Amino acid sequence: MFLRLVTDSFGRRPRRKLLTGAALALGMAVATAALSVALDVGDRLAKEFRSLGANLLVTPQADSLPLEIGGVDYRPVNAGAYLPEADLPKLKTIFWHNNIIAFAPILEMYASVATTPDAAHSPNNVQVIGTWADYPIYLSDGSTFRTGIDKTSPWFHVDGRWFAPDAGALKRVNVFPPDLPPGAAGGHTYVPVPDECVVGVHLARRLSLHAGDHVYITYPNRADMQNYLGKPSIGCAVTGILTAGGAEDDAVLMPLISVDRLARQGPGEYRKLYVSALAKPEDDFARRDPKTMSAGEFERWSCSPYVSSIAYSIKQIFPGADVRVIRRVAEGEGQILTRVRMLLWLVTGMALLAAAVAVGASSAASVLERRTEIGLMKALGAGSATVGFLLAAEQLLLAFVGGGTGYALGIILARLLGEKIFGVAPEPTLLVFLVVIGLAAVVTLLGSAIPLRRASLYDPAPILRGE
Amino acid sequence: MTELLATNRAMFWRIIRRLLSANRGRLFIMLLALGAGAAVTAALLNLQVDAKRRFTTEFRVLGANIVVAPRNVHDSGTSPTGLLGDSVIRSIETQTGRNGVVAPFLFLVAHVRKADGTLIPKREDQAEVVIAGTSLNELPLLAPGWKVPMPIYFEGTPPNVCFLGQRTAQALNLKNGDSIELFYGSHAEKLEVIGILLAGGAEDNQIFVQLPAAQRLAGLSGQVSLVQISYAGSPTQIQSFIGKLAAAIPEADVRPVTQFTEGEARIYNRISGLLTAMVGIVLLLTALCVMAAMTNVAMERRMDVGLMKALGGATRRVLRLFLVEAALLGFTGGLIGAAAGIFLSVGLGKAVFGVAARPRLIVYPVAVTLTVIVAILSAFPLRHLATIRPASVFRGEE
């Protein structure tokens, strides 16, 4: 009988139910779209903020004070301390390895750069930066992680291409002598890969260099320098012209290994490491000194991807290194992200409010209008509880159907929005679904509860008489 | 005839009054739905305009986005050649106005040691450090991201004080309150350390002093190495400002700090696109939702329509009655709701940005008009009631 009454109510006035359902579905679609976007926006924008470049800087702890003005370090290359290049792949083994988006080691020196091998009047003291570009790191899980300055400084534009990752290195080549007896293993030898470099746009203009030309780099502090080809200077092919908008426009960028060989003859070492890490905006808790935290707090701190806790875990694997947060980038990111999040939550909150009020009004109207029906039911002996239960069941059914439709509609809208703005659609989450359905149920029940209560106070007789 | 028209009109308004006051509950519900819609519309429109403008200011936490340097870029490393004079700084300041912070910098590499009050350069126990001469007062404004411990001075920061970069302080074993001596050529300066600055970059290795002190030390009065500008504005405004500045000071090289201008433009466009799209969708759906709710309320007027038609009311006239009622409701709901919404957005602006959003008067009429339109549109489905046969309504049939 109960079910019959409910289905009858739907079947008898399909248009009215459709309208209430439509109001519900639209309201819940707003709620779904706003919630999905607001939940997703933090991660998306955090990625966008990586276009500002690195937020962590690793330098040797025992370093002498760098004499750096406007991005140019005026210290001689053999002063100060270094960090070993061989340790760098360890960065992808730390707890936060998935948050490390890119890193690039830097070693600078000053050298003379000429366009012919024996030019006498070539500009001296040109900054030569050794670094990585699109450098492959082979991880233990078999995958390859490519990183370098092209990733940590996404605003660098190269007209041409970056130097090859293995330029200047020695390549292992298998040798098979022609008279190799069958079954014997071939030997191998090392062959140097030709040197390559990228030239800053201002320097290129001064030397009228273009991609495809050659430059000859001599390190003046070591006149006796002989590289393994027996020449006093490195000749390298210019693969591209770099526009950086900073000191790099006047510099030559080469693979780290070439600069190490030119300036120091030492093992692969670097002086600065830029790390770009995805981090959670810092709150008051994150700004506390980890030394003053209790064990539980420390655990919570180190398990949140704050930029300071990522710095801490990098410090753990690089003994002798000083890991600093580049505050200009990190603070800016944190502050703006917090603001955007707050703003979107407010917009979401307002959308929820408007949807809730409109839906509540709609269901209140649908109860109001049925006063005669309620009167009749009561006249036939139904208690207030039965009537309320019947109407609540009806409204809940409507809430689930309308809420479900609205959720589907909202997800489509959120996908469109996400794809248009960030190129990635937010994933539908169960949380949003539960919140939306719950909200629909609560709002419809609340909306109908007030008129229902008033209706239950009335005597059936005057209502039926139309008074 | 005119008398009849007058009576008709009086009757019309009388019916409207009765329609509105007949059912208090229904009136309240309709006003609530319309008012909530109007409030959200007004609040979002007001906040949206304000938020975009606020975000351009917000991005200044990233620090300087424009650098003015002498045109002859230094050819050889060790010392920056070329300097900018006072006149350039003044013309930059006039061009920037109140839209940004202008900070002149003079860099030099000087010897430093802990002061013992003698001011005689001794070669031992001295270290070479980069000295950055600038206006120490402006530093927190130029780079809000840095941790600058700013002691409060009521008469401006004194001339003989300095900030130490954090690594400089570590390397020289200096702390807050110590005195240091700087030597450059034949000049010397004695300064008091008033704070340790933490920037996380090259600035941590420098010593920040007042610009006149640095100029005295270098023997270059009225000259600076470069000027950093933190200019607030949308990406296009920043671009046009750079163009304007470059035209105004042809003797200097004006260039954007690509790292920040590019990233900023990208993020700003994302945020403003997101905000516009969100507000658009929320407004559209809210309007539709309010409309559906209102239609639902209006549809329950079948009995009234039936009665009017039974008494000989023409369909058009009946419809007009309901449209006027809806418009009145929309107007009232809009007036109250939009006012509430604007107050709401002022409060919300304060919550998000710490600065109250400026109420924009244009938003108010727009929100009210939108509400009236939504209300009238939602009464239109009553047109279907034209097909109602009064008799069947009274019999309780569908």
- Which CATH number is B141's domain given? 2.40.40.20
**Which among B39, B266, B271 has the least Cβ separation from residue A340?**
B271
Two tokens at A387? 């009537």
- The label of the residue with tokens 């001295």 reads B126
CA distances B166 to A437, B146, B197, B208, B211, Å, are 54, 11, 6, 11, 20
A216 vs chain B: nearest CA distance in angstroms? 18
- The label of the residue with tokens 């009136």 reads B27
Two tokens at A230? 């027996």
- Name all contacts of B113-119 with Cβ < 8 Å and 24+ positions apart: B113/B172, B113/B180, B113/B181, B113/B183, B114/B172, B114/B173, B114/B174, B114/B178, B114/B179, B114/B180, B114/B181, B115/B178, B115/B179, B115/B180, B115/B181, B115/B190, B119/B181, B119/B188, B119/B190
For residues B218 and B106, membership in a common domain is answered with: yes
* Distance separating alpha carbons of residues A211 and A159, to the nearest angstrom: 8
Average pLDDT score, chain A: 81
- Name all contacts of A281-288 with Cβ < 8 Å and 24+ positions apart: A281/A333, A281/A334, A281/A335, A281/A337, A281/A338, A281/A341, A282/A306, A282/A307, A282/A308, A282/A330, A282/A331, A282/A334
Q: Does A423 touch chain B (CB under 8 A)?
A: no
For residue B263, tell me if it sits in a domain.
no
For residues B289 and B246, membership in a common domain is answered with: no
SS3 A246: coil
Two tokens at A453? 């209560």
Q: Which 8-state DSSP code applies to residue A267?
A: S
The residue out of B256, B284, B303 marking a domain boundary is B256
Q: Does A102 touch chain B (CB under 8 A)?
A: no
Amino acid at A31: A
Q: With beta carbons less than 8 A apart as the criterion, state whether B148 and B195 touch.
A: yes
Model pLDDT for residues A93-148, shown as the tens digit of each residue: 888 888 899 999 998 888 888 887 765 556 667 888 999 999 998 888 888 999 99
For residues B224 and B122, membership in a common domain is answered with: yes
Provide mean pLDDT across the span B336-352: 86
SS3 A467: coil
| Strand-strand pairing, B187-197 and B161-165 | parallel
Residue of A nearest to B23 (CA): A368
Q: Is the pLDDT of residue A336 over 90?
A: no
Domain count, chain B: 2
For residue B374, tell me if it sits in a domain.
yes
Choose from B58, B134, B281, B397 for mutation: most chain A CBs within 10 A.
B281
Q: With beta carbons less than 8 A apart as the criterion, state whether A199 and A242 touch.
A: yes
**B342: number of Cβ within 10 Å:** 23
For residue B333, tell me if it sits in a domain.
yes
For residues B13 and B155, membership in a common domain is answered with: no
B78 vs chain A: nearest CA distance in angstroms? 6
For residues B249 and B323, membership in a common domain is answered with: no
* Distance separating alpha carbons of residues A157 and B70, to the nearest angstrom: 24
Q: Does B27 touch chain A (CB under 8 A)?
A: no
More confident residue, A363 or B363: B363
The residue out of B256, B279, B300 marking a domain boundary is B256
pLDDT (0 to 100) of residue A122: 64
pLDDT (0 to 100) of residue B77: 39
A37/B282 Cβ within 8 A: no
By mean pLDDT, which of A167-171, B127-131, B227-231 is the weakest? A167-171
Looking at the DSSP assignment, which residues form a beta bridge with residue A215?
A236
Q: What percent of chain B has pLDDT over 70?
A: 89
By mean pLDDT, which of A23-27, A144-148, B25-29 is the weakest? B25-29
**Which among A15, A343, A359 has the least Cβ separation from residue B51?**
A343
* Distance separating alpha carbons of residues B387 and A46, to the nearest angstrom: 58
- Burial of residue A461 (CB within 10 Å: 0-12, 13-18, 19+) is exposed
For residue B261, tell me if it sits in a domain.
no
- Burial of residue A171 (CB within 10 Å: 0-12, 13-18, 19+) is exposed
pLDDT (0 to 100) of residue A77: 60
**Which among A20, A154, A347 has the least Cβ separation from residue B279?**
A347
Model pLDDT for residues B241-296, shown as the tens digit of each residue: 999 999 998 888 888 888 888 888 888 888 888 888 878 887 887 788 777 777 77
Choose from B46, B197, B285, B398 for mutation: most chain A CBs within 10 A.
B285
* Distance separating alpha carbons of residues A407 and A409, to the nearest angstrom: 5
If residue A201 lies in a helix (H) or strand (E), which one and from where to where? helix A201-206
pLDDT (0 to 100) of residue A37: 84
Two tokens at B132? 């950055």
| Strand-strand pairing, B206-210 and B187-197 | unpaired
Burial A148-169 (b: 16+ CB within 10 A, else e): bbbbbbbbbebeeebbbbebbb
More confident residue, B359 or B241: B241
For residues B383 and B272, membership in a common domain is answered with: yes
A141 backbone dihedrals φ, ψ, rounded to 5°: -85, 10
Handedness of CA B217, B220, B226, B230 (dihedral sign): positive
Nearest in space to A444 (alpha carbons), one of A11, A28, A35: A28
Q: Strands (DSSP E) along A115-181, which ranges? A: 126-131, 135-138, 144-147, 157-160, 170-175
For residues B52 and B156, membership in a common domain is answered with: no
The residue out of B256, B276, B294 marking a domain boundary is B256
* Distance separating alpha carbons of residues B310 and B313, to the nearest angstrom: 7
Q: Is the pLDDT of residue A194 over 90?
A: no
Q: What residues make up the domain containing B103?
A: 65-256
Rounded to the nearest angstrom, the gap between the alpha carbon of residue B237 and the centroid of all alpha carbons in its chain is: 14
- The label of the residue with tokens 């098979």 reads A176
For residues B365 and B298, membership in a common domain is answered with: yes
- Which residues, numbered 12 to 51 in chain A, qualify as contacts with chain B under a Cβ-Cβ cut-off of 8 Å? 12-13, 15-16, 19-20, 22-23, 26-27, 29-30, 33-34, 37, 41, 45, 48-49, 51
A237 vs chain B: nearest CA distance in angstroms? 23
* Distance separating alpha carbons of residues B265 and B242, to the nearest angstrom: 14
- Which residues, numbered 120 to 159 in chain B, qualify as contacts with chain A under a Cβ-Cβ cut-off of 8 Å? 127-130, 143-147
pLDDT (0 to 100) of residue A331: 84
Longest dimension (CA), chain B: 113
Provide mean pLDDT across the span B376-385: 75
**Which among B130, B199, B259 has the least Cβ separation from residue A69?**
B130
- Which residues, numbered 143 to 162 in chain A, qualify as contacts with chain B under a Cβ-Cβ cut-off of 8 Å? 153-155
Q: Is the pLDDT of residue A241 over 90?
A: yes
For residue B129, tell me if it sits in a domain.
yes
Which residues of chain A have a CB within 8 Å of the CB of B69? 70
Q: Is the pLDDT of residue A65 over 70?
A: yes
**Which among B145, B279, B300 has the least Cβ separation from residue A331?**
B145
Which residues of chain A have a CB within 8 Å of the CB of B259? 52-53, 153, 155, 245-246
CA distances A89 to A258, A267, B95, Å, are 19, 16, 49
Q: Is the pLDDT of residue B124 over 60?
A: no
pLDDT interval class at B79 (50, 70, 90): very low
Q: With beta carbons less than 8 A apart as the criterion, state whether A133 and A166 touch.
A: no
Q: Does B336 touch chain A (CB under 8 A)?
A: no
Which residues of chain A have a CB within 8 Å of the CB of B199? 326-328
If residue B287 lies in a helix (H) or strand (E), which one and from where to where? helix B258-299
- The label of the residue with tokens 């107007």 reads B331
For residues B286 and B379, membership in a common domain is answered with: yes
B123 vs chain A: nearest CA distance in angstroms? 17
Provide mean pLDDT across the span B314-333: 84
For residues B193 and B306, membership in a common domain is answered with: no
pLDDT interval class at B105 (50, 70, 90): very high
Two tokens at A421? 């703005």
* Distance separating alpha carbons of residues A240 and B229, to the nearest angstrom: 31
| Three-class HEC string of B124-187 | CCCEEEEEEEECCCCHHHHCCCCECCCCCCCCCCCCCEEEEEHHHHHHHCCCCCCEEEEEECCE
For residues B74 and B117, membership in a common domain is answered with: yes
* Distance separating alpha carbons of residues B83 and B71, to the nearest angstrom: 9
Nearest in space to B374 (alpha carbons), one of B38, B3, B10, B9: B38
| Strand-strand pairing, B66-70 and B252-256 | antiparallel
pLDDT (0 to 100) of residue B126: 66
By mean pLDDT, which of A122-126, A191-195, A405-409, B29-33 is the weakest? A122-126
B263/A51 Cβ within 8 A: yes
Two tokens at B251? 């003797």
Nearest in space to B275 (alpha carbons), one of A429, A416, A348: A348
Q: Does A357 touch chain B (CB under 8 A)?
A: yes
For residue B25, tell me if it sits in a domain.
yes
Two tokens at A362? 């709609």
For residues B210 and B130, membership in a common domain is answered with: yes
| Strand-strand pairing, A196-200 and A234-243 | parallel
Q: With beta carbons less than 8 A apart as the criterion, state whether B36 and A354 touch.
A: yes
For residue B262, tell me if it sits in a domain.
no
* Distance separating alpha carbons of residues B360 and B342, to the nearest angstrom: 8
For residue B349, tell me if it sits in a domain.
yes
